[in-house]
Structure 1
Amino acid sequence: MKIIVSTKVLIYCALFGVALVVAGVILGYRIFPMIVSKKVWENAVLKEDTQQWKLFTKIPFPFQVKIHFFDVQNSNEILQGAKPIVKEVGPYVYKLNRWKDDIEWNADEISYYDCMKFEFDKEASGRLSDEDYVTILNSPFNALILAVEELSASALETVNDALPDVFNKYNSLFVKATVKELLFEGSIFCENGGEDDFATKMICQQFKAKAKVAKGMTVIGKAINYSYLNFKNNSHLGRLTIKSGLKNQEETSNLVRFDNRTRVSVWVNESSACNEIKSTTTFRPYLTPEMTFDVFSEDICRRLKMAYQKIETVKEIQGYKYVVTNDSFNAPQENQENYCFCVNRSRTLHGDFGCLKDGLLDLTTCVGAPVLLSFPHLLYGAKEYMDTVEGLDPNPELHETFVILEPISGAPLKLAKRVQFNMFIRAVPDIISIENVTNSVVPIFWIEESMILDDRYIAIIKDTLLKNLKILDMIKWGIIGLGGVALVAPTALMIYKN
């Protein structure tokens, strides 16, 4: 039987199809994105009694900290002028629990202490134990000599005579100690306060004064204790103030003050960009590859820039990978933005004053000692520095700092913060034990603080965001597809009839 459909009905069907297509486009490209955007930003803004607030106040899973020591293989030969040979030992793995303490609100700003606690992870460390012995550069010993050389070279001979009483069993350019001692328990010097000798007493008094500002040094009775990480353990690095985002969602989690100041006074020219702290403490939703981020690190007293590198998949979720730019520790001649990081406090490799070459940042004004910061294995460092030591093997995949973010929510899927601590060694006049040392950069250890998002939070992203986005996408294309059929079919029939 032949079905006859009037032209009028076909026109109405076609118009209905057009309406469906338009509705699908409006819903799919305007209404749905607005709804999703509102929900995503609601989940990003910091507000009490929300899931986001719970995650903010206490991260419900530990970060992982890996310590890689550079075990010195030829310490005796170095003292006779040989090039240092180091061997990476590790990683010694620790669980790092983080939480916020003493949280205060002031309008749309939140102030708090970011506290942390380390716990040795025997299982993750495998055959390694924190009772293992390693031989590394003796930082307090070397720092004292370099500091005296800088401030009062005429006192070096007196210091040389006092060194055995100051450092006792640690009276050497290199020290052999357990991992636990080096990182947390510490090494003791100035045991009796140096009261038996005037020069020793003066040096110990200077150490005690320095302990008030130098990271890692604490006064215990008359003695001084030095460790690399204990000052962080069950403690914090200063008071942070951030924006909640309640007034302006684009400012969510932006750092605005550190220790109640809008900038640090560590680097050259207090008003310089180097001293600015304004940065992000978490990452905003709706990322693009064109975006860059500044992140402030309290333990190195400065911001670092992160830029997009590529797309990577973490637990079946695609994310944008941002890395700390490889020119972060470049010399001012190569990166003029770095000029104010040239503090001229540590003498250069050759004993002169001046800016360091690519790859090293002088942390003297930050940590109170002539410590040099770099990427692990001197990644992106000057060849001149690399040539002074054997045993380094820089690899961006292993040694860069990065974060992989889910691009819609800004949630971190995976991250790794990696830095290395080094010092220059060289022969210093009147210090007999190191009079034959060849100028070198000696790496001490590098540290990685990392996280891969826990499966339960991966599931939340998949189920509450990505799955719903997929459903909305299906609805959009379903409506557009149905409208397309309702438009094309009557149009085809009208053409056929005519």
Structure 2
Amino acid sequence: MNLIVFSVKKYAAKAKTTYKMQPQKSLAIFLCVSGICFFFILAGILAICLSTNIYEAILSNQMVLKPNSNAYNMWVKNPVPISLTLYMFNWTNPEEVYNKTSKPRFEQLGPYVYRETKEKTDVVWNNDNDTVTFKNIKTWWFDPESSKGNLYDPVTSINPVALSAAHAVRNWHMIIKRGFSVSLRAIADTIYSTHSVGELLFDGYEDPLLTMAAKMSFLPKGAAMDKFGWFYGRNGSSEFDGIFNIDTGARGNLGVLERWKFSEHTGFYPDKCGNVQNASAGDFFPRKLTHDSVIKMFTSDLCRYMELEFEEEVLVNNIVGYKYVAGQKFLDNGTKIPENKCFCDGDCMPSGALNVSNCRHGSPAFVSLPHFYKADPYYLDGVDGLSPEENMHSFYMIFEPNTGIPLSVAARLQLNLRLAPVQGISIFEDVPTVFMPVLYFEQKVDIPEHMTFMIKLLINFNVICLSVGIICITLSSIVFLIVFYKMWSKKIFRKQRHVQIPRHPNREEVPLNH
């Protein structure tokens, strides 16, 4: 017996240390959790480091116009409800037009509100140069509940047909003008006329001068009409605005106008003033705007582009926006901005009223801001009844600067006709030179709440990525440490020893029984 005890102690000192294998299930769980944690830690690091690249990739993908894309669905049919609000100017003392001591006096009527839909038609994709060609269809419905007055309200105004006819023949030979004057006097013995709001806007009215003008050579081709109305023939028409060709954004110039009516030049203004390129077509605008940026936008109503200048930073639904307004770059006729002189077409007036006569079939038409806001005092001094106010009569667009998405728009322009003496035309010989306001329109649109939420996500994308990255790294690290601690506490990783007594190769076992 003593011999056996001695043998055990002796060979126990030479025992080999071994490690007990732990259950495979616990180790598998630990490895799985560790893999998931390290994956989320890596994802968090990438989200923080590559947030800017991800942001640009998302915008680059979304800000490309292609069939069935999000940008296309919002572009082909306007998703935001639009209204066209019109105000008419009623001439209250037309019989005093030849009185040198009296000014034309006006009262504003309205608003007359029309609901508007706008959609694209005849869309053609030009894959060879990454452009798309299309036409606009605008449709209007009168909204009596939102209007003040009705379409039967009478409005007295300068007779636009007689004025245009006199303006068209102003440079003819005196003998011919005298003959025309007799015919004009027989048809229209006054320079003013009274018609309903509906007739002056969309319905139109017949005028014997139109019939006569259609048979004479002084009207440009295509200018003849069976009726006259400022928007006559435009409701539901796909031809009125012309054919547009814009960049799809595949080259990074989304919405930039390439051609209008198949040309890079309008033909209505000389030199660079007739260019259409590098201007927005009005649906998409540049990204990464700064205080020095100028918004260049083409409008077919003026047959030219207009430029908006930065004014201030404002908040729209808690989003910081850059406000761009119609200022001197748009309103000046070369006095303060020499390069604008080509817009005058040789007939430069004081700043504030833009000559659009060529765009309006030769009629002496001029566009300004409502009530001659921001215009030279010359215009207001010639009339009574107008009172310009910034909050009512300014033209502005507010953009989210990083994405170029419009947050709020107030588009306002006024149509004026220049009344001036025409020698040889009796009813116009003794009239004063004055700019007669006819009407002004307003389109005010604010971005819907659901779109505001998406914009907030976009502009806070880097912050969101940083937050998500920190959360992923922090939570994954905590989970890993907790699992590691629990595994450690269960002695998953600890070394455990047990004794294994080796058998002596040259020794025989001694039986226990003696």
CA contact (8 A) 2:47 2:465 kept: no
Instruction: Tell me the residue number matched to 2:350.
Output: 357
* Pairing partner for 2:219 from 186, 206, 210: 210
Q: Does 1:187 align with 2:205?
A: yes
Q: Distance in 2 between matches of 1:310 and 1:191?
A: 49
In the alignment, which of 234, 245, 254 is matched to residue 236 of structure 2?
234
Separation of aligned partners in 2, 1:234 and 1:175? 28
Residues 377-409 of structure 1 show CA distances to partners (whole Å, capped at 9, x for unaligned) of 122222222211112222333222221122333
Give the equivalent residue in structure 1 for 2:109: 89
Is residue 164 of structure 2 the alignment partner of residue 157 of structure 1? no
- What residue is the counterpart of 1:304 in the other structure? 306
Name the CA distance, whole Å, in 2 between partners of 1:137 and 1:327.
Answer: 30
Equivalent of 1:366, from 337, 355, 359? 359
DSSP 3-state at the match of 2:97: helix
For 2:191, the equivalent position in structure 1 comes to 173
Deviation at 1:165, TM superposition (A): 4.7
Secondary structure of 1:428's aligned partner: coil
1:426 to partner: Cα distance: 3.1
The code of the aligned residue for 1:70 comes to F
Residues 165 and 190 in structure 1, CA contact (< 8 A), matched pair in contact too: no
Same amino acid, percent of matched pairs: 25
**Match of residue 419, structure 1, among 405, 413, 426:** 413
Asked if the contact 2:51–2:461 (Cα under 8 Å) also holds between the matched residues in 1, the reply is no
Q: Which one of the candidate residues 435, 440, 444 is aligned to 2:434?
A: 440
C-alpha deviation, 1:280, in angstroms:
1.5
Q: How does 1:73-472 map to 2 (within 5 A)?
A: 73-81=92-100, 82-107=102-127, 108-125=130-147, 127-167=148-188, 171-190=189-208, 193=211, 201=212, 203-206=213-216, 210=219, 212-214=221-223, 218-219=225-226, 225-235=227-237, 236-246=240-250, 248=251, 250-268=252-270, 272-278=271-277, 279-281=279-281, 282-344=284-346, 354-368=347-361, 369-462=363-456, 464-465=457-458, 470-472=463-465
Aligned residues: 429
The 1-side partners of 2:210 and 2:146 are apart by 39
TM-fit CA distance, 1:340: 1.0
Q: What amino acid is the match of 2:183?
A: A
Report if aligned partners of 2:78, 2:119 keep a CA contact under 8 Å in 1: yes
- Structure-1 separation of matches of 2:42 and 2:390: 49
1:11 maps to which residue? none
TM, length-normalised to structure 2: 0.76
Change (3 A) 1:308 1:473: farther
- Change beyond 3 A, Cα 1:74–1:478: same
Render the CA deviation track for 1:45-83: whole Å, top value 9, x for unaligned.
Answer: 112112211111111333211111111121111243321
Code of the aligned partner of 1:43: Q
- C-alpha distance in 2 between matches for 1:180 and 1:89: 13
Structure 1 residues 255 and 471: CA distance shift in structure 2, 3 A: same
For the pair 1:65 / 2:84, whether they are aligned, the reply is: yes
How far the C-alpha of 1:152 sits from its partner, in A, is 3.8
TM-fit CA distance, 1:459: 3.7
Q: Deviations over 1:411-437 (max 9, x none)?
A: 212112221111222343343334442
Work out the CA distance in 1 between the residues paired with 2:228 and 2:69. 42
User: Secondary structure of 2:110's match?
Assistant: strand
Helix, strand or coil for the counterpart of 1:237? coil
Q: Distance in 2 between matches of 1:174 and 1:229?
A: 19
Counterpart Cα distance in 2 of 1:322 and 1:22: 43
- In 2, are the aligned partners of 1:40 and 1:285 still within 8 Å (CA)? no
Asked if the contact 1:237/1:298 (under 8 Å) is kept, the reply is: yes
Deviations 1:231-288 (A, max 9, x none): 3211241000011112x1x2111110001111111113xxx11011011131133333
Moved more, 104-113 or 414-423: 414-423
- How far is 1:337 from its partner? 0.9
Computing the radius of gyration from Cα coordinates, the structure with the larger value is: 2
Cα deviation for residue 296 of structure 1 reads 0.7
CA distance in 1, matches of 2:262, 2:119: 20
Question: Which residue identity does 1:340 align to in structure 2?
Answer: C
**SS of alignment partner, residue 96 of structure 2:** helix
Would the alpha carbon gap of residues 406 and 327 (structure 1) be closer, same or farther in structure 2, given more than 3 Å must change? closer
On the 8 A contact 2:47/2:468 being kept in 1, the answer is no
**C-alpha distance in structure 1 between counterparts of 2:399 and 2:446, whole Å:** 11
Alignment-mate amino acid for residue 298 of structure 1: S
Task: State the AA in 2 paired with 1:218.
Answer: M
Q: By how many angstroms is 1:473 displaced?
A: 4.2
Deviation digits for residues 450-496 of structure 1 (CA, Å, limit 9, x no counterpart)? 3222333234334x5356555334336668999xxxxxxxxxxxxxx
The answer to whether the 8 A contact 2:91-2:107 is kept is yes
User: 1:491 — aligned with what?
Assistant: none
TM-score, scaled relative to structure 1: 0.79
Give distance in 2, aligned partners of 1:165 and 1:185: 26
C-alpha distance in 2 between matches for 1:412 and 1:381: 26
Secondary structure of the corresponding residue to residue 240 of structure 1? strand
Could you give the per-residue CA deviations for residues 133-167 of structure 1, whole angstroms, max 9, x where no partner exists? Answer: 11122111111112212334433322222125545
> How far did 1:132 drift?
1.2
Q: Which runs of 5+ in 1 are unaligned?
A: 1-20, 194-200, 220-224, 345-353, 483-498
- Name the amino acid aligned to 2:119: W
Give 5+ residue unaligned stretches, structure 2. Answer: 1-40, 476-514
